[in-house]
Structure 1
Amino acid sequence: MREQVRRTAAAAAAMLLAAAVAGCAGGQRQAVETSGAVSANDAAHAPLAGEQGLAAQSGESDPAAPSGESVGGAAASAPSGTSDAVDTEAAGRPGDAELLQQIAGMTLEARIGQLIVAGVDGTSADAGAKRMIREQHVGGVIFYKDNLASAESVIRYVNQLKAWNADGAAPLLLSVDQEGGKVSRLPALKKLPNAGVIGDTGDAALAEDVGEILARACAELGLNVDFAPVLDINSNPANPVIGARAFGSGEQVVTEMGLATMKGIRSQGVIPVVKHFPGHGDTAVDSHLDLPVVNKGLDQLKAFEWKPFEAAIREGAGAVMVAHILFPKIDPDYPASLSKTIVTEQLRGMLGFKGVVITDDLTMGAIADHYGIGEAAVLSVKAGADLVLIAHKYGNVDKAIAALASSVKQGVLTEARLNESVLRVLRLKADGKLSDEAIGSPQLAPVNEAIAEVLAQAARP
């Protein structure tokens, strides 16, 4: 029986790959002006064909229709990856054939799970976290300050999650918001300066050092993803949520410092996630509390807010977080994180981004007060997002998974669209050389020494 399953999965993968090659040969890619925005990014991420037409493929239905909240039950566990091919170009990445074969053998639940980054409870791994990983196949976890009591407890937590994921489809994304300054989650560490202080020095080498330190701290505690750097331009003095988290109020300093920080993070083997596209710097509302509205058009964003993100994409950024902000002149109906126009047509099409798109936390007031969690999860994936961030309450993860499964069963979200995101996520994990091997005791003293040096440099006139 096991050999028969293996042969079936291999045959399914061959069908997927053949369909992908045929799709490329058909020349269905829609031309999009990129204004020279892709270079290193193309080397880092093989393009997925037809990305401009994803929404047409992935949901001819009204995008507001699938709330998923009233639909209970998980999907059937039989592998269904062969019902619709992953639409990837023939000149694919080395290793894509193996990943496609893996996807072909994954159940629907396992594939949906790879699209979820979920929050956890408490300072030690509990039954809810075990269920998410072992039964729901959740592919990533985010830690907050109240999960991180001490360095030793973090290591125990991380190692337990890794052990539970031993039979998972891929190693876990183990993530944290560790920006330095105001947003510093990790325990037993001196606090780095805010990004604004680093930006004021005008020293890109110092910013790169900060990125290295952020990543070293994450890696010592077993974390492989850092939701940093912030590439927002703090152009609105009334902004209640960005402020000194930004490197400055001009696109040049934010671009220079942000790219240096991203380079530093990557140098230590941690995945940086640049945020919050298309730019959170000109908001006057905290999206944790309600939905900000920015009345800027496309030309304004391209000339200013997009600049740091465009540069990061050229430098091979692997992951971008999309903000919960409504831009009514661009999409009057959906905030950026749920907008096909912003995620697929602009970020993927106009800026040529081929990596992983992750939403900001769907439990924030900007989304939770206006949409159901299940509805928001479906809308975000239909829009082109690959990872859905659900930072609080295991019940919210249940709702998102049930809604995504229901949307696939009903044909609202196609298998092809789902598989594209799974492929991107598995690529990111493979590129990052993620591992579920247990880690030993952290060595934080050298990290604190490096932080002290940065503090001294930043304080110099």
Structure 2
Amino acid sequence: MIAFVKLLIKLVKLALAVSLVFPAVYFRTPWLASLRDWAFGLVFMISLGLIVSEILGWTRNSSQRQVILSVFILAIASFSFSLAVTTEVKFQLTKQAILNREASQLETLGQHFIVGYRNLEEVKTLVKKGAIAGVFITRRNIQNKTPDEINQEIQSLQAIRDNQGLSPLWIATDQEGGIVSRLSPPLTQLPPLSSIIKDKKDIDSTKEDVIRYASIQGKELSEIGINLNFAPVVDLNYGVISSEDKYSKIYLRAISADKDIVAKVALWYCQTLADYGVTCTIKHFPGLGRVDTDTHLEDAQLKTSVAELTQADWVPFREVMSKTNAFTMLGHAQLIAVDPDHPVSFSQQVVTDIIRDKWQHNGILITDDFSMHAVYSSQDGLEAATVKAINAGVDLILMAYDTDLYYNAMNALLQAESANRLDITVLKSSNTRLKQAIRKIL
């Protein structure tokens, strides 16, 4: 009976050791960002406990079966422990290397990042270092706070910049209306923009309603200190519904299937937000309305020809780009006809050749969140993707969900700069665009 109990305990320990492998391997991936400290702590403590208990519990009287199980437990627990510790130490060294740099070394490249945060003091440190261009505010940052309290927190960040004599931070959010309303409550929960024009034959008759809608958002966002809104969605609504799409759900967020309606509504919306000092962001170029997978969780491909996209999906983008100071958000779908090897967000063939050179567009280009699978797990990886994006002419890299990714991305840019792998001409043009953009909201 005693032997059976001992064997059972060994088997439980083995199962526990095996269960630690997954968090040990993946605790630093973006989708575990909210549980990262817990995951690392559990792996560290439990694996160390298993190692110590097996070493101290070994006796010469142990049966061969028990010895074999002990070896497996030690091997697996040691693997998880060493992998987790090595990964964490490597990250912390990178983070400290960034934070220990002089602000003057970080400001030039730092102005190309907008980051989300879970810890206000950490993001304040980045602001003090001049290491970022802005912050992304979402639901986790405002829970149980009044608009005044949110504004005070934002102003505490802006005050740091003001005291340094630097331009204001971009304070960004995702307040589209409908299912993507990150600041509601306390801000007004509005339906999607599409609800305003639904079943209306004369789109021009809805202009005042669109302006009224945008005015509510613009006024409320401005009052709490937001100056950049990641809206409107100008992807065309092709009614694509897929079990593979967990988060994007463009069919619920798009304005219309009609390119001309989308162009008009988006233009009215952006012009109205600008009246309140809030810059809009049209998204998600090259258009996700036809895509049936979710770049949050997997790769996505857009196989439509450039000719067809030019006549349809790109019409709203071109219209708003040419008539406003809107930012354009680059999605992570691969535009197969142009560049089958890279997501659009860091594709030189798309960003440089089409948007910058062919279209001669000199507005701000911002990526969708680089925490998404389509970037983080791409064949290039986060670091190379960041360098490629900047060299292609992207102005801002967004890291909304997982702030920790910023340190690896910034380190990649600093290393590329030292190795002369950053295109200085492209970088200077981007820096000029960013300075001009922030002046327009002052």
TM-score clears 0.5 = yes
Verify: 1:156 aligned to 2:156, yes or no: no
Verify: 1:376 aligned to 2:376, yes or no: no
> Over aligned residues, Cα RMSD in angstroms?
2.3
Residue 164 of structure 2: aligned partner:
167
Superposed CA deviations along residues 109-143 of structure 1, whole A, max 9, x for unmatched, are 11111100001115xx22x1122111252111001
Alignment partner of 1:179: what SS?
strand
Superposed CA deviations along residues 295-354 of structure 1, whole A, max 9, x for unmatched, are 112111101110001111221333111111011111011111011111121122232311
CA, structure 1 residues 341+168, in 2 after alignment: closer, same or farther (shift >3 Å)? farther
Cα distance in 1 for residues equivalent to 2:136 and 2:124: 14
* Equivalent of 1:268 in 253, 271, 276: 276
Map 1:20-31 onto structure 2 (within 5 A): none
Map 1:78-227 onto structure 2 (within 5 A): 107-121=104-118, 125-126=120-121, 128-149=122-143, 150=145, 151-165=147-161, 166-167=163-164, 169-186=166-183, 187-200=185-198, 201=200, 202=203, 203-227=206-230
* Equivalent of 2:344 in 312, 336, 349: 336
Residue 287 of structure 1: aligned partner:
295
CA, structure 1 residues 317+70, in 2 after alignment: closer, same or farther (shift >3 Å)? same
Contact 2:158 2:168 in 1 (8 A): yes
Cα distance in 2 for residues equivalent to 1:394 and 1:261: 30
Map 1:298-309 onto structure 2 (within 5 A): 298-309=306-317
Cα distance in 1 for residues equivalent to 2:395 and 2:374: 20
Cα distance in 1 for residues equivalent to 2:178 and 2:170: 24
**In the alignment, residue 240 of structure 2 is paired with which amino acid?**
P
- Stretches of structure 1 that go unaligned for 5 or more consecutive residues are 1-68, 79-105, 434-461
Cα distance in 1 for residues equivalent to 2:333 and 2:92: 27
- Stretches of structure 2 that go unaligned for 5 or more consecutive residues are 1-90
Residue 82 of structure 2: aligned partner:
none
Residue 345 of structure 1: aligned partner:
353
Contact 1:235 1:250 in 2 (8 A): no
Superposed CA deviations along residues 377-432 of structure 1, whole A, max 9, x for unmatched, are 11111121000001133321111111111111111103332222121111110111
Map 1:225-236 onto structure 2 (within 5 A): 225-236=228-239
* Equivalent of 1:354 in 337, 359, 362: 362
How far 1:70 sits from its partner (Å)? 13
Q: Work out which of the two has the higher radius of gyration on C-alpha atoms and give 1 or 2.
A: 2
CA, structure 1 residues 290+297, in 2 after alignment: closer, same or farther (shift >3 Å)? same
Alignment partner of 2:180: what SS?
coil
Q: Which has the higher helix share?
A: 2
How far 1:237 sits from its partner (Å)? 2.4
TM-score (norm 2): 0.72
- How many pairs are equivalent? 336
How far 1:216 sits from its partner (Å)? 0.9
Contact 1:262 1:272 in 2 (8 A): yes
TM-score (norm 1): 0.69
Superposed CA deviations along residues 427-459 of structure 1, whole A, max 9, x for unmatched, are 1101111xxxxxxxxxxxxxxxxxxxxxxxxxx
Which runs of at least 4 in structure 1 moved beyond 4 Å after TM superposition? 69-78
Identify the structure with bigger relative contact order (alpha carbons < 8 Å, sequence gap 6+): 1
Superposed CA deviations along residues 60-117 of structure 1, whole A, max 9, x for unmatched, are xxxxxxxxx9995459978xxxxxxxxxxxxxxxxxxxxxxxxxxx934111111000
Structure 1 range deviating more: 107-116 or 300-309: 107-116
Alignment partner of 1:320: what SS?
strand
Alignment partner of 2:191: what SS?
coil
Cα distance in 1 for residues equivalent to 2:363 and 2:210: 24
Cα distance in 1 for residues equivalent to 2:297 and 2:340: 20
Alignment partner of 1:118: what SS?
strand
**In the alignment, residue 206 of structure 1 is paired with which amino acid?**
D
Cα distance in 2 for residues equivalent to 1:177 and 1:394: 17
Percent identity of paired positions between Structure 1 and Structure 2: 27
CA, structure 1 residues 237+318, in 2 after alignment: closer, same or farther (shift >3 Å)? closer
Contact 2:99 2:129 in 1 (8 A): no
**In the alignment, residue 156 of structure 2 is paired with which amino acid?**
Q
